[in-house]
Structure 1
Amino acid sequence: MMTKAIMQLDTLTCPSCMTKIQKALANQTGVASVKVLFNASKVKLQFDDTQTTADQLAAVVTGLGYTVKSIKVKQPKVA
């Protein structure tokens, strides 16, 4: 099932930070899409929740030296 999540980060200070986060998350197993919103310091993700979790993806961002303030996860609607 594809799950969407939005991570609120501490303020991003440079465009290269955005690129670093985007590349690191895009390389994670199960991640379908990543969009880093530089001005809002947010990361929008879509991922397969059978292969990874929002917490695991947040740990990747934290491992790069950035602070994840919050994560909002939108579970897919089951028909």
Structure 2
Amino acid sequence: MTTIKFQLEPLTCPSCIKKIEGKLGKMNGVEEAKVMFNSSKVKATFNTEQVTAEELQEIIEKLGYPVLSSKTA
């Protein structure tokens, strides 16, 4: 399993959390997706054989949340 953190533009509403966590959590290969509202970060643990970090970032951005940077943990 791999863990990655995405830094997003500042989140403006708590409903953003459920939207992002729900979408990422339903993806094959994603073990856990957690949004840290106060720091505008998304932490995802995933299986690289099933999904890539790029695919996760693409989903976040399609939901309307620009990713500023990412870092594997």
Structure-1 separation of matches of 2:68 and 2:23: 18
Percent identity among equivalent residues? 47
The alpha carbon displacement at 1:18 in A equals 1.2
1:8-19 equivalence runs, <5 A: 8-19=7-18
1:51-70 equivalence runs, <5 A: 51-70=50-69
Map of 2:39 onto structure 1: 40
One-letter amino acid of the counterpart of residue 32, structure 1: E
The alpha carbon displacement at 1:43 in A equals 0.5
Map of 1:71 onto structure 2: 70
Q: Deviations for 1:9-56, whole angstroms, at most 9, x for unmatched residues?
A: 000000001110010100111000111000000001100000001110
Deviation above 6 Å: which 4+ runs of structure 1?
Answer: none
User: Unaligned 5+ residue runs, structure 2?
Assistant: none
Q: Deviations for 1:45-77, whole angstroms, at most 9, x for unmatched residues?
A: 100000001110000000001100111123xxx
TM-score, with length taken from structure 2: 0.96
